[in-house]
């Protein structure tokens, strides 16, 4: 057992500490800072002192600082949305989608499971009805803080690129709109990939604007760039293969984010020909 694991175990022996939420930061070789989540809404000075004493008694380690962690961890909307969009993601998938550190994701998942907002399915996670309701409420709250005019304007411009992206993906999968593309025509494939690369470059300014409208969309530029890099490197599965963070998968998820952000419904967007 390493020092951090031992410290966490010692802290979570105490009855007023919520398990699986403790954070340990090493400041020096002989002292640490500890963050913990109290079981009650508010931590007391006596509880903080007890943690310092208990760790010193059990492990002989000096605790330089104790900080109660918020009872409602930030990042819930990102994790809930990643689970909704990906269906049954593992921790690594959620980390990739949200840009949050693995430990933070694990702590949020534990909190959400404690609140019955999500469930573990083997090494993956799924939303419960409670979690879906919670996510809808968080998105509505987020929408109330966003400049509606900017969001709608960005969505309208996104739709122009969305039309182009759908055409690229269709032409990647089909030739002449009917026959399956068996990818034996190198010239045809290269032309489609050139269109994707051009779209990717022209989309960057709007993508940057979207991140400014909603900062939690910040992982998307990196996710698009990673998919594009793999495509340019010759791994063409990253154009549109489902169940991986292919270019089309990331695009679909961003589209879903924007539908929710602007208060639209996917079914209405599909009828209007804007979903795909």
Is position 125 within any domain?
Answer: yes
Domain C-terminal end among 51, 68, 85: 68
Domain C-terminal end among 26, 43, 68: 68
CA atoms lying within 13 Å on the CB side of residue 84: 23
Same-domain pairing of 209 and 97: no
CATH code of the domain covering residue 13: 3.30.300.30
Is position 276 within any domain?
Answer: no
Q: Which of 183, 32, 94, 15 is nearest to 23 (CA)?
A: 32
Same-domain pairing of 153 and 261: yes
Same-domain pairing of 160 and 202: yes
pLDDT of residue 137: 93
CB 158 within 8 A of CB 258: yes
Same-domain pairing of 137 and 151: no
**For the segment 71-112, what is each residue's pLDDT rounded down to a tens digit?**
677 899 999 999 999 999 999 999 999 999 998 899 899 889
Is position 267 within any domain?
Answer: yes
| Overall number of domains in the chain | 3
- Which residues of the chain fall short of a pLDDT of 70? 1-2, 27-29, 41, 71, 267-276
**For the segment 197-224, what is each residue's pLDDT rounded down to a tens digit?**
999 999 999 999 999 999 999 999 999 9
234 is written with which tokens? 């010759």
Its domain, for residue 25, covers: 3-68
Same-domain pairing of 90 and 58: no
Is position 25 within any domain?
Answer: yes
| CA–CA gap between residue 183 and residue 193 (Å, rounded) | 12
Phi, then psi, of 13 in degrees rounded to 5: -70, -25
pLDDT of residue 197: 98
Provide the whole-model pTM. 0.74
Same-domain pairing of 178 and 250: yes
| CA–CA gap between residue 21 and residue 68 (Å, rounded) | 10
Residue 201, classed as helix, strand or coil, is helix
CB 98 within 8 A of CB 46: no
CATH code of the domain covering residue 89: 1.10.10.10
pLDDT of residue 1: 46
């Amino acid at each position: 057992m390493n020092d951090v694991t031992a410290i966490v175990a010692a802290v979570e022996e105490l009855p007023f500490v919520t398990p699986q939420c403790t954070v340990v930061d090493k400041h020096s070789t002989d002292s640490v800072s500890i963050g913990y989540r109290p079981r009650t809404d508010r931590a007391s000075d006596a509880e903080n002192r007890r943690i310092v004493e208990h760790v010193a008694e059990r492990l002989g380690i000096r605790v330089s600082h104790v900080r109660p962690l918020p009872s409602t961890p930030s990042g819930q909307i990102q994790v809930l949305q990643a689970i909704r969009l990906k269906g049954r993601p593992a921790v690594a998938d959620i980390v990739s989608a949200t840009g949050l550190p693995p430990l933070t994701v694990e702590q949020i998942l534990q909190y959400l499971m404690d609140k019955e907002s999500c469930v573990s399915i083997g090494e993956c996670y799924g939303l419960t009805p409670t979690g879906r309701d919670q996510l809808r409420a968080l998105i509505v709250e987020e929408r109330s803080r966003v400049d509606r005019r900017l969001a709608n304007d960005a969505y309208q411009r996104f739709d122009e690129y969305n039309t182009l992206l759908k055409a690229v993906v269709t032409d990647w999968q089909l030739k002449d709109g009917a026959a399956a593309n068996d990818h034996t025509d190198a010239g045809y494939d290269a032309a489609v990939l050139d269109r994707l690369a051009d779209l990717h470059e022209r989309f960057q300014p709007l993508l940057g604007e979207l991140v400014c409208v909603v900062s939690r969309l910040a992982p998307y530029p990196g996710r698009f760039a990673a998919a594009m890099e793999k495509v340019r490197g010759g791994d063409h599965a990253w154009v549109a293969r489902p169940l991986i963070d292919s270019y089309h998968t990331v695009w679909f998820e961003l589209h879903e984010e924007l539908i929710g952000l602007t208060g639209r419904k996917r079914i209405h967007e599909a009828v209007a020909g804007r979903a795909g």
